[in-house]
């Protein structure tokens, strides 16, 4: 590995930095999605039972103790329960507009790294071949293979590194998008259900 880095030239450090950022973003977002994903059906059943008993304080406490955007949507609906069905729906929509950007945060950065990684590899390849042609121009027919090998190494290593970064970055981005979409779908289902829960018990107008 040190040999590849040494022969990769300055561009390889850009690719490695991009790889480190991509890895950090993926791990942070994967953990965030894991914490945000709950069993929304079980959670809503618990809230429904408590709300039907009229114990609003306990329902809010359940929401506070449950991580993730679904719980915060449900809490917003419960807090707006006395202002009519339309206000409950508006409160849920407003909460959703706040939560979705949190879920999508930094995904664009990962997508950008996946897109520019092959370009960084191509850039390194071009720089490597420029080095080769500089040696050929300087030495002419007397250019020794050892003088040319460094530029060729740089070209090949950067091209391979750029592609090697782009593949998992694309895969990681698509995986996170699928996780976010699943959470958003849970939010939409929960939003529809909680509006009915808080208004069917005589709290809505």
d(CA 47, CA 72): 12
* Percent share of the chain, pLDDT over 70: 91
DSSP at 83: G
Q: CB burial class (10 A; 0-12, 13-18, 19+) of residue 113?
A: buried
Q: What is the pLDDT of residue 153?
A: 84
Q: CB burial class (10 A; 0-12, 13-18, 19+) of residue 68?
A: buried
Q: What is the pLDDT of residue 13?
A: 92
What is the per-residue pLDDT across 154-167, written as a single tens digit (0 to 9) for each? 889 999 999 999 99
CA distances in angstroms from 22 to 16, 17, 25, 52, 204, listed in the order given: 10, 9, 5, 47, 47
Model pTM score? 0.83
pLDDT band at 205, cuts 50/70/90?
Answer: very low
Q: What is the pLDDT of residue 143?
A: 61
Average pLDDT, the chain: 87
Domain spans, the chain:
2-199
What is the per-residue pLDDT across 5-24, written as a single tens digit (0 to 9) for each? 777 788 999 999 999 999 99
């Amino acid at each position: 590995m040190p040999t590849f880095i040494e022969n990769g030239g300055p561009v390889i450090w850009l690719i490695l930095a991009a790889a480190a950022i991509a890895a950090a973003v993926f791990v942070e977002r994967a953990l965030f999605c894991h914490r945000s994903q709950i069993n929304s059906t079980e959670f809503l059943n618990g809230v429904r039972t408590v709300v039907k008993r009229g114990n609003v304080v306990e329902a809010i406490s359940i929401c506070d103790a449950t991580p993730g955007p679904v719980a915060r949507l449900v809490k917003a609906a419960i807090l707006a329960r006395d202002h009519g069905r339309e206000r409950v729906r508006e409160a849920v929509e407003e909460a959703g507009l706040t939560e979705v950007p949190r879920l999508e945060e930094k995904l664009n950065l990962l997508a950008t790294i996946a897109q520019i990684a092959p370009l960084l590899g191509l850039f390194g390849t071009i720089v490597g071949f420029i080095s080769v042609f500089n040696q050929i121009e300087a030495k002419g027919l007397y250019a020794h293979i050892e003088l040319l090998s460094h530029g060729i190494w740089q070209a090949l290593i950067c091209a391979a590194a750029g592609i090697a970064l782009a593949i998992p970055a694309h895969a990681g981005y698509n995986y996170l998008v699928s996780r976010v979409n699943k959470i958003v779908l849970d939010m939409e289902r929960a939003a529809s259900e909680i509006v009915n829960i808080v208004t069917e018990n005589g709290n809505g107008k």
